[in-house]
Amino acid sequence: MIVSAQSPILLFDSGFGGLSVLAAVRETLPDAPVIYAADLAGLPYGEKTEAEIAARVAGLLGRLAERYQPRLICIACNTASTIALGMVRDVLEIPIVGTVPAIKPAAALTKTGVIGLLGTAATIRQGYVDDLEAKFATDKKLIRYAAPELVHAAELLLRGGTPDPAIFEQVANDLRSKAGDAEIDTVVLACTHFPLLEAQLRAAFGQEVRFVDGAAGIAHRVAHLTQDQAFERDGPGLAIVTGPVDQTLAHALQPYGLSVIERL
Ligand code: DGL
């Protein structure tokens, strides 16, 4: 199939966590036209039921695909991917790249054999995560922890706010106490919002813990699936949001090359 050089790659998240994935995609494919869609009216997905998330994601991606004719969709959200990836792939006829917890690379990297997994409440209870654990980490200890407060902290930071440092200390302490005597040396950032808080998480966890996320792997996969295609950016990057656009957003999205914001 011939793909138009202007056909965008569409990245989708509940909010702006997917910018951590966009940054990696931009680095790998600097000429790719990109549309970033954020379901702000549905944020946070992590506190919703599976049925609610599946319905929102499938409905919105269907509308976005029809309107913008992307060459590929990247679901830059662990929660949406672990719940709705299969379903979306069944209904849309374009390649869909998901974001799933980076348990495989974490299992290869850990020395102590103890891995922390920070995600949303919805992500950490998914069978998808059970399957990844069974496939790649049966000989490791995987300690799952839901940290919805980090989603809000990332959205706040992006808009120029300062999250309370106590939030990060609390997450690090709680995850470590769930591990008991076992020493966590690797933490999977299994929510795309969390790499945006790497500096704050680093301060709370200390230098010796390694963080792993899927952004580079996703960018690699997107590049692979589009390797024979031409790219031409014929205008500014577009952000589409559901829900209200606040004033700070335009400024926050500028460094990511998203200079036009539209409501869906
Ligand atoms: N960024 C999303 C993820 O990767 C979740 C944020 C939310 O709770 O909406 O899981």
pLDDT tens, N- to C-terminus, the chain (264 residues): 789 999 999 999 999 999 999 999 999 999 999 999 999 999 999 999 999 999 999 999 999 999 999 999 999 999 999 999 999 999 999 999 999 999 999 999 999 999 999 999 999 999 999 999 999 999 999 999 999 999 999 999 999 999 999 999 999 999 999 999 999 999 999 999 999 999 999 999 999 999 999 999 999 999 999 999 999 998 889 999 998 887 789 999 999 999 999 999
Q: What is the residue range of 112's domain?
A: 103-213
In a domain, 245, yes or no: yes
Q: Are residues 117 and 209 in the same domain?
A: yes
Q: Are residues 60 and 131 in the same domain?
A: no
Ligand 1 pocket test, candidate residues 53, 75, 79, 129, most atoms within 8 A of CB: 79
In a domain, 4, yes or no: no
Q: Are residues 25 and 79 in the same domain?
A: yes
In a domain, 3, yes or no: no
Choice among 19, 57, 106, 191 that is catalytic = 191
In a domain, 172, yes or no: yes
Residue 44 CA: which ligand 1 atom is closest? 9
Report yes or no: 239 and 36 within 8 Å, Cβ to Cβ. Answer: yes
Q: Are residues 127 and 73 in the same domain?
A: no
Q: Are residues 93 and 122 in the same domain?
A: no
Q: Are residues 177 and 107 in the same domain?
A: yes
Q: Are residues 206 and 232 in the same domain?
A: no
In a domain, 163, yes or no: yes
Residue 123 CA: which ligand 1 atom is closest? 10
Q: Which CATH number fits the domain that encloses residue 244?
A: 3.40.50.1860
Q: Are residues 82 and 15 in the same domain?
A: yes
d(CA 211, CA 196): 12
d(CA 35, CA 161): 25
Q: In what order do the strands lie in the sheet with 9-13?
A: 96-97, 72-75, 9-13, 34-38, 237-241, 258-263
Q: Are residues 135 and 202 in the same domain?
A: yes
Q: Are residues 147 and 166 in the same domain?
A: yes
In a domain, 258, yes or no: yes
**DSSP-based three-state secondary structure for 66:** helix
Would residue 74 show up in a list of annotated catalytic residues for this protein?
no
pTM for the whole thing? 0.96
Q: Are residues 108 and 160 in the same domain?
A: yes
In a domain, 156, yes or no: yes
For ligand 1, which residues put their CB under 6 angstroms from it? 13-15, 17, 43-46, 77-79, 120, 123, 151, 191-193
Ligand 1 mean position to 27 CA, how many Å?
A: 22
Helix ranges (H only) for 16-120 are 19-28, 50-68, 78-91, 103-109
Number of domains within the chain: 2
Choice among 77, 146, 147, 219 that is catalytic = 77
**DSSP-based three-state secondary structure for 127:** helix
Ligand 1 mean position to 190 CA, how many Å?
A: 9
Q: Are residues 129 and 190 in the same domain?
A: yes
In a domain, 2, yes or no: no
Residue type, position 158, single letter? L
Ligand 1 pocket test, candidate residues 192, 213, 218, 242, most atoms within 8 A of CB: 192
Ligand 1 mean position to 79 CA, how many Å?
A: 5
Ligand 1 mean position to 152 CA, how many Å?
A: 10
